[in-house]
Amino acid sequence: MSQWFDYLPLILEGAWVTVELTVLGSILALVMAFIAGLGRLSRWWILRALATVYIEFFRGTSIFVQLFWVYFVLPLFGLSLTPLEAGVLALGLNVGAYGAEVVRGAVQSIGREQYEACIALNLTRWQALRQVIIPQAFIIMLPTFGNNAIELLKATAVVSLISLADLTFQAQVVRAQTGNTMVPFMTILVIYFIFASIISFGVRGLERRLTRGLDGVRT
């Protein structure tokens, strides 16, 4: 066990990389979710088509292939990324495609009376979305966004395939050097669970804060 504590800093370094991937990937996923989700609702067919292609492509292909394509194929076109950048890009685009459907569904679930009220107030389409529709729809999106963030957290393990020293990669290093499989992988199992619990707690807290004082809001 004393030998294990010598390797604990490696696991903690991997945990920090996993946190970076999760936070940056979630930010990118959130941005892409809103761009593509609202694009699906656009009046312009070209925007709807581009959003649909993005969503279906990233939902219909493997995250493994997407990661390898970003890291190994893009350099052939003159775009070289670090392992961290490639991981954030692949994870963010992949999860963002799933989030886009959440955005689209939440916006469409808002009652027609809300749109009619915006028309009565002489709001433009953008003003109605920004000031009335999206604030209400965001509350509906939150639980699923939380699930998507947890899925992204778990998917960060794939970056070990491109030698990015995340939690899973460091656990493999410890296993190779100590011959012990149970302890390092039990440790990262607990760490992943803690990170997921933090995300769940944060999302629930934000949901309670946003719905405080609202009557009739069901989340």
Give the CATH superfamily of 2-211.
MetI-like (1.10.3720.10)
As a residue count, the chain comes to 219
Report the alpha-carbon distance of residue 191 to residue 13 in Å, rounded.
12
Q: What is the pLDDT of residue 218?
A: 46
Range from 23-32, 50-59, 170-179 carrying the lowest mean pLDDT = 170-179
- Residue 77, CA distances (Å) to 53, 55, 73, 137 in order: 21, 23, 7, 39
Domain boundaries, the chain: 2-211
Long-range contacts of 124-129 (CB under 8 A, 24+ apart): 129/38
Task: Indicate the pTM of the whole model.
Answer: 0.89
Kindly tell me if the per-residue pLDDT of 172 is higher than 70. yes
- Res 143: pLDDT: 92
